Amino acid sequence: MARSVESCDLDALLEWQRRGMAARTLGIDQRECPVLRTTLTVDRQSDIGLKSEAWLFGWRIEDASRSNCRAPEAIR
């Protein structure tokens, strides 16, 4: 049975999001998500999916924030 965000620990998902943001800050590529390197078992697939989505979302938030910092000339 697939798990939902409600059944997963929200604090854990926020931590994975923070890790994704930190990874982007350090220049780590989004394809290097550490959660995706985990061995998948049937009972852990949805858990790993939620964590990898949180990591990637954090990475993208940081990337968007950095992109906005570089674009003042385009706004003028």
Domain ranges of the chain: 14-75
Q: What is the mean pLDDT of residues 50-68?
A: 91
Identify the residue whose tokens are 């620990």: 9
Distance CA 66, CA 4 (A): 30
Examine the pLDDT at 1 and tell me if it is beyond 50. Answer: no
| pLDDT tens sequence across 3-55 | 555 556 899 999 999 999 999 999 999 989 888 776 655 556 677 888 999 99
Total count of residues recorded for the chain: 76
> pTM of the prediction?
0.70
The backbone torsions φ and ψ at residue 68, rounded to the nearest 5 degrees and listed phi first, read: -65, -30
Residues 56, 8, 38, CA angle at the centre, nearest 5°? 50
Per-residue CA distances from 70 to 58, 65, 67 (Å): 19, 9, 5
Report how far residue 55's alpha carbon sits from residue 38's, in angstroms, rounded to the nearest whole number.
Answer: 14
